[in-house]
């Protein structure tokens, strides 16, 4: 968790400001978090950032464990404890605006957002988070994208993390709700109202554009400082289709398990050019 030169100044409501970036997963969240971490000291006085760091670590771990366990109360209780701990840490910080980015802190997971209705229920978690942050003026942000390629990217991520072993066609039958993300947005907007902001990530892709600019603008970062942002190398990009097929074959080898398989996945991720048509021409 990092911040620029610090001071505490309330807004017109008498509360300090939080901009909470909740994802969605696979909408350049890793790229945005890397940008925030690399530029924490360039955003201006009073602007602090927490790009998926220790401030939200316990929240995301227990939220994801709750979702993956089928709803064990123990993880929900621990998430509540972690949330109160996070708020105490925020209370002790000096800032005018704190920008928090963590796409998993309320249990949203890339492989689940296209589940049929009833499969993903993050609204209750966001309500609990909003109640815990009631002492602040909070704006929530969700980035979105075109659903069809988004679902493919979600599958690739789940496959890369060994949470999925079946072919995409079989997986897609069970994750066939391309309207899932839009439904989640509307559900959250039902109680957050205009405090929930959304942006299509395509609006920040292209020459001269900066992924995460919208978040910086909401945090009150000046145009001059945004122009001086350093863009770090991209991470966690989706694997090429040929790499996915290669890993499917590799997984048939019983000797490629655990650390060996993870090392192979990292190698494929670092060198996607190995699977390009140009490389084999």
Kindly report which listed range (23-37, 80-94, 121-135, 263-277) carries the lowest average pLDDT score.
263-277
Strand partners, 144: 200
Averaged pLDDT for residues 120-126: 85
Q: pLDDT at position 99, please? A: 98
Q: pLDDT at position 140, please? A: 98
Q: pLDDT at position 121, please? A: 76
Confidence bin at 8 (pLDDT 50/70/90): very low
Closest CA to 218 of 2, 32, 82, 73: 32
Averaged pLDDT for residues 195-219: 97
C-alpha span between 80 and 12 (Å, rounded): 30
Instruction: Say if residues 121 and 188 touch (Cβ distance below 8 Å).
Output: no
Instruction: Say if residues 269 and 187 touch (Cβ distance below 8 Å).
Output: no
Q: pLDDT at position 3, please? A: 43
Tell me the helices (H) and strands (E) count for the chain, helix number first: 12, 6
Contacts (Cβ under 8 Å, ≥6 apart) of 128: 80, 83
Confidence bin at 133 (pLDDT 50/70/90): very high
The answer, yes or no, to whether residue 267 has pLDDT greater than 70, is yes
Tokens of 188: 């959250």
The answer, yes or no, to whether residue 132 has pLDDT greater than 60, is yes
C-alpha span between 259 and 201 (Å, rounded): 33
Q: pLDDT at position 180, please? A: 93
- By percentage, how much of the chain surpasses pLDDT 90? 64
C-alpha span between 34 and 232 (Å, rounded): 7
Closest CA to 52 of 272, 239, 267, 212: 212
What digits encode the pLDDT tens for the residues 170-190? 999 999 999 999 999 999 999
């Amino acid at each position: 968790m990092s911040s620029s030169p610090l001071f505490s100044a309330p807004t017109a409501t008498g509360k300090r400001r939080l901009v909470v970036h909740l994802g969605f997963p696979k909408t350049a969240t890793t790229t945005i978090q890397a940008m925030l971490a690399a530029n924490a000291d360039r955003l201006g006085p009073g602007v602090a950032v927490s790009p998926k760091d220790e401030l939200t670590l316990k929240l995301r771990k227990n939220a994801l464990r709750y979702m993956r366990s089928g709803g064990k109360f123990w993880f929900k209780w621990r998430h509540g404890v972690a949330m109160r701990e996070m708020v105490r840490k925020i209370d002790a910080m000096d800032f005018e605006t704190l920008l928090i980015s963590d796409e998993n802190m309320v249990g949203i997971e890339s492989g689940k957002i296209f589940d049929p209705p009833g499969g993903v229920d993050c609204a209750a978690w966001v309500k609990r988070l909003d109640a815990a942050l009631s002492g602040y003026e909070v704006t929530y942000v969700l980035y979105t994208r075109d659903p069809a390629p988004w679902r493919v990217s979600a599958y690739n991520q789940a496959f890369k993390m060994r949470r999925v072993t079946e072919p995409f066609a079989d997986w897609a039958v069970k994750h066939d709700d391309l309207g899932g993300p839009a439904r989640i947005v509307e559900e959250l907007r039902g109680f957050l109202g205009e405090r929930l902001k959304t942006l299509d990530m395509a609006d920040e892709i292209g020459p001269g554009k900066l992924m995460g600019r919208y978040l910086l603008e909401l945090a009150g970062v000046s145009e001059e400082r945004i122009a001086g942002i350093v863009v770090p190398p991209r991470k966690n990009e989706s694997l090429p289709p040929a790499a996915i097929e290669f890993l499917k074959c590799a997984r048939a080898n019983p000797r490629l398990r655990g650390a060996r398989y993870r090392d192979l996945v990292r190698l494929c991720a670092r060198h996607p050019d190995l699977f390009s048509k140009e490389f084999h021409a």
